[in-house]
Amino acid sequence: MNDRGVGILTQYAFNAEKVTRVRGGLLCVTNQGLKLVKEFRGSEHRLEILEEIMSALRMGGMEQVDQIIRNEQGHLWTADYDGVHYIVKDWYEGKECDVKNSKDIALGAQLIANCHKILSHFQTKEEKIEMGKNIAQDYEKRNKELKRVRNFIRQKNHKNEFELCLLQNFPEFYEKAEQAYEMAQNCVYQQLLEEAEINRSIVHGSYQHHNILLERKVAAVTNWEHCRIDVQIYDLYQFMRKIMEKHNWEMTVGNRILESYDKVKTISSKEMEVLKLLLSYPEKFWKIANHYNNNNKAWMPVKNVEKLNMVRKQYTEKEKFLQDIF
């Protein structure tokens, strides 16, 4: 998004005193507090649902969420002169959740547990809300993508360092991917997803440390644009996987996350089964391969080789963690 997004602020009932670029948009200091201007590519129907979810969270006691602000015409989005849609949200001072700070990590788990309690039975006038995926079908699709990447590299006459590294590690990680797919076919995930649809249980959909802002008196959960009906433990999985990768799958960190969430919202045995399934899939390996498949295959940054080597390095620790926890 470029700075032309500033022009839409004339259509809101506040005065912007200062505007700076930040991750994901433009941060505005106004006479009504901090606001974030952000480009939005979804539908207006989607924004109506988001507004309801943010209102439900606030009514449930989670006051620090990025509520979308209506413009002076009463619309949730505002178009600039090129027809690009922007939204303006309440925003908060604070630092992102520190993935190396145990207190921040515990608070991050507690925050999403609180959100889950409030949104476990979401009452809304909107009938159509996006649903989570069939996990077995998703894994089947991913595994086919992995095989396509492997076959493409095999056929190349000249392979770069990244391609050789990926081929070397492929058999072990693909075996784990296939095992996860087999687990998914017999897992309770689909049952819990059907229950989530009946209860209209909402997940954040992209819960990670970037979306948690912490200050002494403020703990905000932001960026709910990917929210949907799904098995709520999926959010904890996303948060947990990112944190555990930063901590080399250290047991004490994983236990702290689970205990912190469980204190607020009890994790059932079925949810633990789902969490085991989600953590068992070699997500990082698939993401690296998928990034290669969707980008310029003639040149891959050295950083991607480093990422692949890190996944390989953490493999043993991750397996030990899964065995000990589950």
Q: What is the pLDDT of residues 235-255, one digit of tens each?
A: 999 999 999 999 999 999 999
What are the phi and psi torsion angles at 202 (to 5°)? -105, 140
CA 152 to mean position of chain CA atoms: 30
**Can you give the pLDDT at residue 324?**
93
**Can you give the pLDDT at residue 3?**
62
**Can you give the pLDDT at residue 123?**
81
Coil/strand/helix, residue 166: helix
Is the pLDDT score of 225 beyond 70? Answer: yes
Beta bridge partners of 28: 19, 35
Of 81, 75, 92, 84, give the one whose Cα is nearest residue 38: 84
Beta carbons within 8 Å of 321's beta carbon, 6+ residues apart = 244, 249, 250, 251, 254
Of the ranges 39-48, 131-140, 172-181, which one carries the lowest mean pLDDT score?
Answer: 39-48
Report the predicted TM-score, pTM, of the whole model to 2 decimal places.
0.92
**Can you give the pLDDT at residue 25?**
87
**Can you give the pLDDT at residue 303?**
84
Higher model confidence: residue 22 or residue 136?
A: 136
Coil/strand/helix, residue 30: strand
Confidence band (pLDDT; 50, 70, 90) for 1? very low
Q: How far is CA 297 from CA 95, 110, 152, 304, 326, in A?
A: 36, 41, 10, 12, 38
Q: Give 260-284 pLDDT, tens digit per residue.
A: 999 999 999 999 999 999 999 999 9
Q: Rounded mean pLDDT of 131-142?
A: 95
**Can you give the pLDDT at residue 23?**
79
| DSSP assigned state of 67 | P
Is the pLDDT score of 99 beyond 90? Answer: yes
Higher model confidence: residue 5 or residue 111?
A: 111
Higher model confidence: residue 218 or residue 40?
A: 40
- Write down the mean pLDDT value for the chain: 92
Q: 3-state DSSP: the chain helix, strand, coil percent, rounded to 5?
A: 55, 15, 30
